[in-house]
Amino acid sequence: MFEVSKRTIYRDIDAINMAGIPIYSTSGVGGGFEIMKNYKMDRKVFSTADISTILTGLSSLSNMMQSNELINALAKVKSFIPVDRVDEIKLKTDQIHIDLSQWIGYRNVQAYLETIKKALQENKLLSFEYTDRHGNKTEREAEAYQIVLKGNHWYFQGYCYKRNDFRLFKLARISNLKSEEIFFTPRDYQKPLLDFTDILETIQSKIKLRIHKSVMDRALDYCMYEGFSPDGTEHYIVTFPFIENDYYYNILLSFGDKCECLEPLHIRTELKRKIDGIAKLYGS
């Protein structure tokens, strides 16, 4: 069920025991491990760091998912705080603030997350309109299996009836999301592949850019500071990871006149072609 070895389970049981929570085991059919009956958790089980970490995580989720479960969980965790450590834990908790809401732009995320979360809990079918990266809109029905936050974008993993396969749907591309009064039986599924590090290393190349210091913070979203070297007082030469597709060309174009591709020549030439196309679009 948990996709771990028996050794890992035993190690976890030992860790729970060492934390002061009494565990006992019973053998035979229907046996196993459980917490001793009538045991009540001592408030001292959680250290200041433990409670601060839990509160930080729950508070960050509460910014996006307002629900009774989260409110109750926050209240329960706070009840473990001894009176003489309230100020200390509040100070540590306030040292890290995670706000998952966006500054501007797409505002349906929170409402959609609540709809998806409820569908997950009740195994209800979701219906919506989905716009792909080429602007094509299709009507979809999907079974929801997982909510995903990757980078600064929300997704949900679902089984799409139109594609007869599992798909990762970006919430920003969804419209008219509804939870239908149709229940489904959950099927076996694999979690979506979210780590593309190994793949990117095989398809990315390094290009050389000259950027103005005013866009340095944006360039740092895509490459390491070690790839920057000063070029006078106003500019930097940057080694930039690049894949030859529209997404990456659009990143470079989004820097406007604050960025120049120095090499390789064929990418510089393609950028010039795209810029000429934009100029014609706005020509008389």
Residues with Cβ within 8 Å of residue 17, at least 6 apart in sequence: 23
Q: Taking Cα atoms as reference points, which of 118, 108, 20, 112 lies closest to residue 69?
A: 118
Indicate if 50 and 64 belong to the same structural domain: yes
Which band of pLDDT confidence, cut at 50, 70 and 90, is reported for residue 193?
A: confident
The pLDDT, as a whole number, for residue 78 is: 79
**Position 144 pLDDT exceeds 90:** yes
The answer to the question of residue 79 being in a domain is yes
Distance CA 55, CA 44 (A): 16
The answer to the question of residue 189 being in a domain is no
The pLDDT, as a whole number, for residue 107 is: 61
The answer to the question of residue 192 being in a domain is no
Domain count, the chain: 4
Given 94, 126, 158, the domain boundary residue is 94
The pLDDT, as a whole number, for residue 104 is: 63
Assign residue 169 the CATH number of its domain: 2.30.30
Averaged confidence pLDDT in the chain? 85
**Position 156 pLDDT exceeds 60:** yes
Given 123, 148, 183, the domain boundary residue is 183
Indicate if 57 and 124 belong to the same structural domain: no
Higher-pLDDT residue of 277 and 88 is 277
CB-side exposure of 280: number of CA atoms within 13 Å? Answer: 6
Report whether 52 contacts 93 (CB < 8 A): yes
pLDDT (average), residues 37-49: 72
Q: Whole domain around residue 71: which residue ranges?
A: 44-94
The answer to the question of residue 263 being in a domain is yes
The pLDDT, as a whole number, for residue 44 is: 64
The answer to the question of residue 103 being in a domain is no
Indicate if 165 and 122 belong to the same structural domain: yes
Reported as a single tens digit per residue, the pLDDT across 198-209 is: 777 778 899 999
- Residues paired with 140 in a beta bridge: 128
Reported as a single tens digit per residue, the pLDDT across 89-142 is: 888 887 777 776 666 655 667 788 889 989 998 999 999 999 987 788 999 999
Indicate if 86 and 114 belong to the same structural domain: no
Indicate if 80 and 34 belong to the same structural domain: no
**Position 85 pLDDT exceeds 90:** no
pLDDT (average), residues 167-176: 91
Listed ranges 27-36, 91-100, 215-224; the one with the highest mean pLDDT: 215-224
Reported as a single tens digit per residue, the pLDDT across 246-281 is: 989 999 999 999 999 999 999 999 999 999 999 999
The pLDDT, as a whole number, for residue 45 is: 66
Indicate if 115 and 179 belong to the same structural domain: yes
What residue type is 262 in one-letter code? Answer: L
Indicate if 152 and 90 belong to the same structural domain: no
Which band of pLDDT confidence, cut at 50, 70 and 90, is reported for residue 151?
A: confident
Q: Taking Cα atoms as reference points, which of 185, 122, 119 lies closest to residue 157?
A: 119
Indicate if 174 and 208 belong to the same structural domain: no
Q: Which two tokens stand for residue 159?
A: 């089984």
Q: Taking Cα atoms as reference points, which of 206, 269, 268, 209 lies closest to residue 243?
A: 206
